[in-house]
Amino acid sequence: MGDLVERITFGNAVEVKVVLASVALALAVYQLALISVGYGRVRPSFLSARAASWTHRASGDAIVVVLVVVALMCVSVFGFADDAVLHAVAGCALLVVLAVKIAVLRWWTSAGRFLPVLGLAVFALLSLTWLTSAGQFLADD
């Protein structure tokens, strides 16, 4: 799998991972803005809560795909390195919380009141995962 990732990225696995993770983080910030419109906390004249919620869902689906790809690349190329414990823990926790959030959205709809907390937890964990890997890489660059 690691060889496949290296071949697909032409030997730039780290750079591709950093770009994808940064795209996910940028979209996550947009997600916060969209859901504040969706929940009616912010009421812009040009965007309804319904449209904002629809885009939030669509953008969220895209983020999930990107994050799964990044996670697979990360584990296959780097594994669980001893010098990146915080990154590994934050990344694993992110995927678990994301899975719970998707489960609440699709099946456990009665637990819908926890969605804002789960969403904020996803954002916090994504930020921490990004800071402990891509952020450090970009700062060193």
> In this complex, which beta carbon is closest to another protein, that of residue 15 or of residue 127?
15
Rounded to 5 degrees, what angle do the CA atoms 20, 126, 73 make? 40
Least distance in Å: CB of 34 to another protein?
A: 7
Least distance in Å: CB of 96 to another protein?
A: 25
Secondary structure in 3-state letters for 55-86: HHHHHHHHHHHHHHHHHHHHHHHHCCCHHHHH
Positions that interact with another protein (CB under 8 A): 10-12, 15, 18-19, 22-23, 25-27, 29-30, 34, 45-48, 50-52, 54-55, 58-59, 62, 134, 138, 141
> In this complex, which beta carbon is closest to another protein, that of residue 23 or of residue 89?
23
> In this complex, which beta carbon is closest to another protein, that of residue 26 or of residue 99?
26
Least distance in Å: CB of 82 to another protein?
A: 25
Measured in residues, the chain has a length of: 141
Least distance in Å: CB of 60 to another protein?
A: 11
Least distance in Å: CB of 50 to another protein?
A: 7
Output the CA–CA distances (angstroms, integers) from residue 94 to 67, 69, 98, 112, 136, in the order listed. 9, 14, 6, 19, 18
> In this complex, which beta carbon is closest to another protein, that of residue 63 or of residue 118?
63
Which one, of 129, 122, 73, 74, lies nearest residue 101 by Cα? 122
> In this complex, which beta carbon is closest to another protein, that of residue 29 or of residue 103?
29
Q: Please, where are the H alpha helices in the chain?
A: 2-8, 13-38, 49-78, 85-106, 115-130, 136-140
